[in-house]
Amino acid sequence: MQAVERIINYDNWITLVVLFSVILLAIMKLIKPNKLLGHTLAFFTPGYFQKKADDNVSFYSPFNLTLFLFTSITISLFFFLTFLPKYYEKSFFNYIVILSSIIIYLFGRQVLDRTFSNILGLSIITNYFVISKSGYLSSLSLLLFPFIILYQYAINNTSFLISVFAILFVFRAFLILYNNKKLVLRKLFYFILYFCTLEIAPLLILYKTTTTQ
């Protein structure tokens, strides 16, 4: 009986998180419907983020902050549902810990990107690179979200969800490299160092901390 109650409680708060994410999508659609559609289809729209880089919209705009929160929730849901082992309680508290870590990491990376660019005098050169990285991550989360719903309420196959994320992540990396090939080739060593430090290492650390008792 207690096990059944735990499952019900688990499903309840997961459903609330999903509903909150849907509300965030509705808010973004009300604020900037075309921009939301553009981010959703950015994987298949060449040059979309080049235009956004030229517009130089603030990260702290209502739409961008809402999209940032949605992205953080979606990515943290993915890690929570796929990499949290059975001997960890799938509680709301543990999810909040993962969500907080994701928010701190993503926000900190935004600050570091901007800071290093300004210090090195590369703000103009790297502006598109920074925007495309965060933009394609948002696109990834928008495309991943429906698959999280499918996983939670229909398919319930961890390999399925991990495969979807891996495909989207690799596609995102390819688009970043392709659209910034001139910058990458000129600064190849620094790019590899950056990518390993701020892109891959945090994923490995999060995986390690959530899969070891």
Average pLDDT (95-103) is 91
161: Cβ contacts below 8 Å, ≥ 6 apart: 78, 81, 82, 147, 148, 151, 155
Q: What is the mean pLDDT of the chain?
A: 78
What tens digit of pLDDT does each residue of 70-84 get? 999 999 999 899 877
Q: Does the pLDDT at position 9 exceed 60?
A: no
Residue in 56, 59, 71 with CA at minimum distance from that of residue 24: 71
Q: What span, in angstroms and rounded, lies between the C-alpha atoms of 52 and 159?
A: 35
- Reduced to 3 states (helix: H, G, I; strand: E, B; else coil), residue 187 is coil
Q: How far apart are CA 173 and CA 9, in angstroms?
A: 37
Q: What is the DSSP string of 152-209?
A: IIII--HHHHHHHHHHHHHHHHHHHHHHTHHHHHHTHHHHHHHHIIIIIHHHHHHHHH
Tokens 């994320």 belong to which residue? Answer: 165
Which has more pLDDT, 10 or 23? 23
Is 80 exceeded by the pLDDT of residue 64?
yes
Q: Where do runs of H (alpha helix) occur along 32-61?
A: 33-40, 48-55
Banded model confidence at residue 175, pLDDT cuts 50, 70, 90: confident
pTM over 0.95, yes/no: no
Q: Quote the CA–CA distance of 198 and 205 in Å, as a whole number.
A: 11
Residue 2 pLDDT > 70: no
Cα angle, residue 28 at apex, residues 54 and 79 outer, rounded to 5°:
95
